[in-house]
Every structure is written in structure tokens, then in C-alpha cells.
């Protein structure tokens, strides 16, 4: 890893809490919830902090949504999606687990992917004293977190560890082997993509591995239903479109929802449309985890 890459990645990692503010205008549900409880979940790469959002105590095992934040595998800051976790908890009644997985430059692939899977599998096994319902687990994430959620589904299928009821992928990064258009404009630049690959995916051969690039997996059959959210002007839009097409070819139910005329921060550019999108996700989570 080049020294300048490492220093740049360290700066992004350290300053995320002050630089990321993209969801602040969407705090309209769950603002009265208490601060999330922080627990630790075991993984192959050490225990991981998990921020747990709940809308009150439950006596029966609760459905759970496992969320993976974005940040290009460079920003370790789960609180960037606090607004989203609060919204889902308040509107669905589910327990939401926001995972504080490790990121570059302090780890490289596949550490984050494995940690995210292991936390989700731990939750599906009950999550210790959280008393979660392993039959009613969903996963999701934004951007790199969307790629992690898709990776978790593949890992869970291959290992037979658990089966999510739904995967919610917001503007997901699903192909780390392919190049962006050379003169791509917008929020996701070719320069950022190159940095991510050099720092978190330094081994070129791993970039096409299915857990790194889920859209390149040979077999997508047996995966949970998917709700994929894209932005019309987002350079990653094609990742989501290709994934939905391949899921459908494999017989997996997949819904594609594109927000018109927005870039990568698809929920903040059009707040009115965002409310409809967020409600759609909440409804999908409730439907996916309803008791028979």
C-alpha cells in the first residue's frame, strides 16, 4: 500500500464523524427513541460493536434488520445511518442492528465481509440476550454497505448459516473488479474507486470474488428476495440493475426501484420522493417478517 493512499484513507476514516451529514434532513421518525444500546458480537476477526435500536422491550422474540453502513470500506462510522435505523425501528417495530465492522486502511478484504456475515449469523441464532427471532431476519445497507449485505446473503447460503427473509440494497457497490467510466462525474469518482481498490482490495485477484463482487457470482440461486434501490444519475446504478436482472434469471424475486434524477445520495436530493421510498422499504420489511 502506498504511503499517500494509506494517509488519505486514514484521514477519511478519522474524519467521517464530522464530514458525513447526508441523512440529517430525514430525521422525521424515531427521534424520540433512546440512544442505541451497544453490544458486542463475536466474529472470526474479533468481537464487533453493534448499535441496537429498539422501540421498547419485547417479551416475544423480535424480528431484526441487520444494517451495514456505507463509506466505501474506508469510513468506520455506523452513526452516519442513525437516522435510517431510527426510522426503521419506529415504523416497523423491528430491532435494528447497526454493525460497526472494521474498515481500511486497518484491514483488507475479506475482513469486513466476514464480520458482517458473522454478526448477522449471530443475530439469527438469537443474538444472546437480545432474544431475536432467527426466522425473521432481514439484511440491508447503503453503497458499500449494500455490497456487504449482498455478500452476507451469498455467504449465508454457501455456509448454510441462516437465511435472511429479505435483502435491501441501497445504491449498492456490487462489482469491484470492473472499472468506472474513465471520466465519470458525480459523487462516486474514478479516483475514489481506485483508492478503495488499492487500499481495501489490494489483491487484484480478490476483486472478482463473489463475496467482494456479488454481481459476478456464478450462481445466484437460493438467495433471499431483494429490494434494490438506485439513483438515475448514480454511476453505480448499473450494478443494481445487473444484480436484479441476474437474480430474476436465477428465479429469485427481485424488485428494482429507481429514484429519478438523483446521484448517489439518492434519499437526500429529493426528500419528498425519499419519504415514499423509505415507506416502501418499511412495508417490505414488515411483509417479509410477518408470522405465517
Q: Are strands 167-170 and 132-142 parallel, antiparallel or unpaired?
A: parallel
Q: In this structure, how many other beta carbons lie within 10 angstroms of the beta carbon of residue 126?
A: 14
Share of the chain above pLDDT 90, in %: 75
Task: Answer yes or no: is pLDDT of 27 > 80.
Answer: yes
* Higher pLDDT pick, 99 / 267: 99
Q: What pLDDT score does 2 carry?
A: 72
**DSSP H/E element including 190:** helix 190-199
Q: What pLDDT score does 78 carry?
A: 93
What is the tens place of the pLDDT at every residue in 151-194?
Answer: 999 999 999 999 999 999 999 999 999 888 776 678 888 888 99
Q: For this structure, is 234 an active site residue? A: yes
pLDDT (mean) for 125-133:
93
Task: Give the pLDDT band of residue 18 (cuts 50, 70, 90).
Answer: low
Write the DSSP symbol of residue 88: H
Q: What pLDDT score does 141 carry?
A: 98
The DSSP annotation for 251-285 comes to: T--EEEEEETT--SSTTTS-HHHHHHHHHHHHHHH
pLDDT (mean) for 10-15:
75
Rounded CA-CA distance 103/105 in Å is 6
Length of the chain: 292
What is the tens place of the pLDDT at every residue in 210-251?
Answer: 999 999 999 999 999 999 999 999 999 999 999 999 999 999
Residues with Cβ < 8 Å from 222, sequence gap 6 or more? 157, 252
Q: Are strands 37-41 and 48-53 parallel, antiparallel or unpaired?
A: antiparallel
SS3 6: helix
Q: Which residue in 51, 67, 100, 143 is the catalytic one?
A: 143
Q: What pLDDT score does 38 carry?
A: 97
How many CA atoms does the CB half-sphere of 53 hold within 13 Å? 28
User: Residue 138 CA to chain centroid, in angstroms?
Assistant: 11
Rounded CA-CA distance 155/240 in Å is 19
SS3 11: helix
What is the tens place of the pLDDT at every residue in 68-107?
Answer: 999 899 988 899 999 999 999 999 999 999 999 999 999 9
* Closest listed residue to residue 234, CA positions, set 35, 60, 64, 70: 70
Rounded CA-CA distance 168/164 in Å is 10
When the pLDDT of each residue in the chain is averaged and rounded to a whole number, the result is 92
Q: What pLDDT score does 1 carry?
A: 62
Rounded CA-CA distance 250/237 in Å is 20
Least confident interval from 11-25, 125-139, 172-186: 11-25
Q: Which residue in 133, 234, 239, 263 is the catalytic one?
A: 234
Q: What pLDDT score does 269 carry?
A: 85
Rounded CA-CA distance 139/90 in Å is 17
Amino acid at each position: 500500500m502506498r504511503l499517500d493512499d494509506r494517509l488519505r484513507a486514514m484521514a477519511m476514516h478519522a474524519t467521517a464523524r464530522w464530514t458525513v451529514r447526508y441523512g440529517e434532513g430525514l430525521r422525521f421518525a424515531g427521534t424520540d427513541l433512546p440512544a442505541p444500546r451497544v453490544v458486542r458480537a463475536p466474529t472470526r476477526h474479533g468481537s464487533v460493536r453493534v448499535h441496537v435500536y429498539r422501540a421498547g422491550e419485547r417479551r416475544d422474540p423480535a424480528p431484526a434488520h441487520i444494517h451495514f453502513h456505507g463509506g466505501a470500506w474506508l469510513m468506520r462510522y455506523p452513526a452516519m445511518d442513525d437516522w435510517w435505523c431510527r426510522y426503521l425501528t419506529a415504523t416497523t417495530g423491528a430491532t435494528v442492528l447497526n454493525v460497526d465492522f472494521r474498515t481500511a486502511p486497518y484491514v483488507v478484504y475479506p475482513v469486513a465481509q466476514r464480520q458482517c456475515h458473522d454478526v448477522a449469523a449471530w443475530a439469527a441464532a438469537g443474538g444472546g440476550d437480545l432474544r431475536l427471532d432467527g426466522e425473521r431476519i432481514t439484511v440491508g445497507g447503503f453503497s458499500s454497505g449494500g455490497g456487504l449485505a449482498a455478500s452476507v446473503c451469498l455467504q449465508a447460503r454457501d455456509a448454510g448459516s441462516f437465511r435472511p427473509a429479505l435483502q435491501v440494497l441501497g445504491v449498492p457497490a456490487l462489482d469491484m473488479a470492473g472499472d468506472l467510466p474513465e471520466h465519470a462525474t458525480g459523487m462516486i469518482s474514478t479516483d475514489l474507486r481506485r483508492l478503495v481498490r488499492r487500499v481495501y482490495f489490494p489483491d487484484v485477484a480478490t476483486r472478482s470474488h463473489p463475496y467482494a463482487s456479488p454481481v459476478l457470482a456464478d450462481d445466484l440461486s437460493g438467495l433471499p428476495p431483494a429490494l434494490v434501490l438506485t439513483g438515475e444519475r448514480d454511476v453505480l446504478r448499473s450494478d443494481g440493475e445487473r444484480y436484479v436482472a441476474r437474480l430474476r434469471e436465477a428465479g429469485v424475486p427481485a424488485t428494482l426501484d429507481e429514484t429519478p434524477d438523483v446521484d448517489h445520495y439518492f434519499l437526500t436530493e429529493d426528500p419528498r420522493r425519499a419519504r415514499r421510498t423509505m415507506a416502501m422499504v418499511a412495508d417490505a420489511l414488515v411483509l417479509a417478517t410477518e408470522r405465517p
